[in-house]
Amino acid sequence: QLQLQESGPGLVKPSETLSLTCTVSGGSISSSTYYWGWIRQSPGKGLEWIGSIYYSGTTYYNPSLKSRVTISVDTSKNQFSLKLSSVTAADTAVYYCARPRDVLGPTLIWGPGTLVTVSS
Amino acid sequence: EIVMTQFPATLSVSPGERATLSCRASQSVTSNLAWYQQKPGQAPRLLIYDASTRATGIPARFSGSGSGTEFTLTISSLQSEDFALYYCQQYNNWPTFGQGTKVEIK
């Protein structure tokens, strides 16, 4: 059974880059049927779709975050990653890695989530 | 951006009773709508997709209906494990979520 697990720093300073990794177990990240994505949840903005990526590297980003977001895949490690630059306190949230059904579709599988706080 | 509005914000229901949750889209999303359940400290769990299709392993007491801009999630007979937060999500355009409905014990 496919499982996802986020990892990365829980505290990031303002103006720096938030970096998270999602490790996929129970399946190959290179499967041609799989997309991968990131979603975040904060008390102020609720649930927010960040973006998704196909194993080939094709990416789709939330227009409101597009200028700051990079999602990438590392097939050799069965992982995918999120980078969010120039963070502010508004980026404080629980970040989930996810497997959507397709590029913009419903999220079938969620990681447990990891809290990232932006503070000096 | 398509704005999703859920109502009511809180629904107080007795165990065994029926719960009806609503979700409205600011423009048509056809049938590209999902419902999720979230419990404290956990990630959301997919219940319904394509407006009315139950996800794998979801009990039959959960049902979804609607199309266009108006959608409903019905829980036919509330069990103790169903008291939680529920979110709708559209994926007709860039995915957006509603603010949630809390189903609490009456």
Band of residue A12 on the pLDDT scale cut at 50, 70, 90: very high
Indicate which of A2, A5, A39, A47 best probes the interface with B, i.e. most B CBs within 10 Å of its own CB. Answer: A47
Residue B52 Cα, gap to closest chain A Cα (Å): 13
Give yes or no for residue A103 having a pLDDT over 90.
no
Residue A56 and residue A75 in contact, taking contact as beta carbons nearer than 8 Å: no
Query: What is the per-residue DSSP string for A53-108?
Result: EETTS-EEE-TTTTTTEEEEEETTTTEEEEEE-S--GGG-EEEEEEEESSTTS-EE
Band of residue B32 on the pLDDT scale cut at 50, 70, 90: very high
Residue B64 Cα, gap to closest chain A Cα (Å): 14
Question: How high is the mean pLDDT of chain A?
Answer: 94
Band of residue A79 on the pLDDT scale cut at 50, 70, 90: very high
Reading the block at residue A8, the tokens are 């990365």
pLDDT of residue A81: 97
pLDDT of residue A30: 86
Query: What is the number of CB-based contacts under 8 A between chain A and chain B?
Result: 45
3-state secondary structure of B26: coil
pLDDT of residue A96: 98
B81: DSSP letter:
G
Q: What's the rounded Cα separation, in Å, for the pair A54 and A73?
A: 8
pLDDT of residue A33: 78
Which of B1, B89, B93 is closest, CB to CB, to A106? B89
**Residue bearing tokens 């990526």:** A53
